[in-house]
């Protein structure tokens, strides 16, 4: 019997729907369920042939567990090794390299020093930053959001520099991006499996 596991967090509808849809197909020797983990031992496989990951971006323990699962035979969706390179700023730059249009975007250092650093840790960083150049490049209105992660957490819509600096003061140690606002009429997401099969789906953000 091959098991397909769904690893998830607070979301409710998607995980249960996927499990129900897979099991409704009644494929021989295939069953889907919520992942159940009670111990993780290095280089020992889990009982799942496939794990669909919906939460490890927020849980470092799950990221480590999934990489261990991947090298011991479990097919993990999404690739847990890609996470280390997967941030919005890098993704935008990569998209531009291959000719995909993206909003004008800059990345900014965290407002507060990261733990275990001081001002001496940032002696290579110009101070103050070229705020005029940054604002002229991106323009307003703009969106201000973490360079990694999702779920619309810590996202601000800003109309001017004063609003920007008030928001910046609230972001603590988060590394943030300032991004041009794009007024869209249609919104789609592309779901890709194994870099070969792509499903384009209209989406309401």
CATH number for 6:
3.40.50.20
CA dihedral 171→172→174→176, nearest 10 degrees, is 40
The whole-chain average pLDDT of the chain stands at 92
| Prediction pTM value | 0.72
* Burial (CB count <10 Å: 0-12, 13-18, 19+), residue 113: middle
The rounded distance, in Å, linking the Cα atoms of 37 and 126 is 47
The rounded distance, in Å, linking the Cα atoms of 196 and 186 is 24
User: Does residue 113 share a domain with residue 44?
Assistant: no
> What is the SS3 assignment for 30?
strand
- 63: in domain: yes
- 202: in domain: no
* Burial (CB count <10 Å: 0-12, 13-18, 19+), residue 166: exposed
Query: Of the candidates 105, 106, 130, 107, which has an alpha carbon nearest to the alpha carbon of residue 182?
Result: 105
SS percent in the chain: helix, strand, coil, step 5: 30, 25, 45
The rounded distance, in Å, linking the Cα atoms of 34 and 54 is 11
Q: Which range is least confidently modeled, 24-28, 82-86, 134-138, 162-166? A: 82-86
Whether the per-residue pLDDT at 86 is higher than 90: the answer is no
Q: What pLDDT score does 1 carry?
A: 92
**Structural domain for 52, as ranges:** 2-83
- 25: in domain: yes
**Are residues 42 and 68 in contact, defined by beta-carbon separation less than 8 angstroms?**
yes
- 109: in domain: yes
Q: What pLDDT score does 138 carry?
A: 97
- 189: in domain: no
User: Does residue 132 share a domain with residue 66?
Assistant: no
User: Does residue 162 share a domain with residue 93?
Assistant: yes
Q: What pLDDT score does 81 carry?
A: 86
Q: What pLDDT score does 195 carry?
A: 79
Mean predicted confidence (pLDDT) in 37-65: 92
The rounded distance, in Å, linking the Cα atoms of 56 and 61 is 8
E strands in the chain: 2-7, 30-34, 50-53, 75-77, 105-108, 142-146, 156-158, 176-180, 188-193, 197-202
The rounded distance, in Å, linking the Cα atoms of 122 and 162 is 25
């Amino acid at each position: 019997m091959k098991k397909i596991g769904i690893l998830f967090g607070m979301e409710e509808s998607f995980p249960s729907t996927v499990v129900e849809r897979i099991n409704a197909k009644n494929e021989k020797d295939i069953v889907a369920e919520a992942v159940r983990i009670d111990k993780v031992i290095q280089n020992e496989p889990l009982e799942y042939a496939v794990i669909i990951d919906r939460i490890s971006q927020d849980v470092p323990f799950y990221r480590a567990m999934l990489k261990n699962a991947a090298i011991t035979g479990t097919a993990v969706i999404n690739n847990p090794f890609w996470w280390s390179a997967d941030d919005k700023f890098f993704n935008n730059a990569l998209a531009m390299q291959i000719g995909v249009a993206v909003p004008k975007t800059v990345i900014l250092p965290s407002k507060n020093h990261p733990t275990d650093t001081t001002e001496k840790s940032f002696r290579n960083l110009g101070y103050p930053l070229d705020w005029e150049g940054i604002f002229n490049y991106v323009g307003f209105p703009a969106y201000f959001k973490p360079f990694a992660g999702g779920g619309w957490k810590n996202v601000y819509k800003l109309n001017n520099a004063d609003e920007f600096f008030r928001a910046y003061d609230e972001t603590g140690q988060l590394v943030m991006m300032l991004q041009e606002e794009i007024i869209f009429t249609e919104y789609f997401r592309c779901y890709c499996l194994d870099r070969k099969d792509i499903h384009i789906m209209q989406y309401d953000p």
